[in-house]
Amino acid sequence: MRKIRTFASILNQRHAQSIDAEARDLLEKISLSAERMADLIRDVLNFSKVLDASVFEEIDLTVILQNVLRDFDLQIEQKQAKIHYNPLPTVHAVPLQMNQLFYNLIGNGLKFTRANLPPVIDISWRQLSPEELKEHPQLDSRLPYVEIIFVDQGVGIDPRFEERVFLIFQRLNTRQHFEGTGIGLALCKRIVSNHCGEIYVRPNEGGGSRFHVLLPVGQ
């Protein structure tokens, strides 16, 4: 992919004057297709690398969140985004996977925004009661669980597709509106499953989405 992109760029730079409009258009399509394929390869490799990590540690999710927000500093500034959160709990988890989980969910909130509306993301958490755990039979009722909620005010997700968004390579928006490979939320699902947890999405009142992440405090 790197060679295809490089040679297409060289061809365009060295012979721009002698290439007609149709050929230039085809070169542009080659470059864009190669760029999308490179993004897909990178995301698939990242999918595999993140899931290979398996060392559980006691980690402060507030530290994970703050590290992720630093990665998004420039994008947050450019979009004039507001991120609200209180200190998050400590859980027994795989640090790299938690970092990727938070990165993907924050990234979605910054990406899928409504026109001319700065992104606003609220992150909160609470302890699940034994009665609430019974509503999620796939969870291990012997363990205490926390629920972390990521709320955005973006374009939202049609309730018909609330399960489909977590399938790999599933895209609900065209590339003309939002870039992406359809791997991010599928990776979130795998990460949460690896931690004996659950993730689901619901519409947010007033627009946007609410991603609910249920994680055990210990393993």
User: Strand 120-127 vs strand 82-85: parallel, antiparallel, or unpaired?
Assistant: parallel
Nearest CA to 54 out of 213, 158, 190, 210 is that of 190
pLDDT of 121 reads 95
Residue 188 in tokens: 């979130």
AA letter at 105:
L
Contact 89, 75 (CB under 8 A): no
The residue among 218 and 211 whose pLDDT is bigger is 211
Mean pLDDT over 41-61 rounds to 79
Contact 209, 83 (CB under 8 A): no
User: Strand 82-85 vs strand 145-152: parallel, antiparallel, or unpaired?
Assistant: unpaired
AA letter at 185:
L
pLDDT of 81 reads 93
| pTM of the shown model | 0.75
pLDDT of 111 reads 86
Mean pLDDT over 64-68 rounds to 95
**pLDDT band for position 164 (cuts 50, 70, 90):** confident
At 92-130, the pLDDT tens digits run: 999 989 999 999 999 988 987 777 789 999 999 999 999
What does each C-alpha distance from 145 to 26, 56, 163, 213 come to in angstroms? Answer: 53, 16, 22, 10
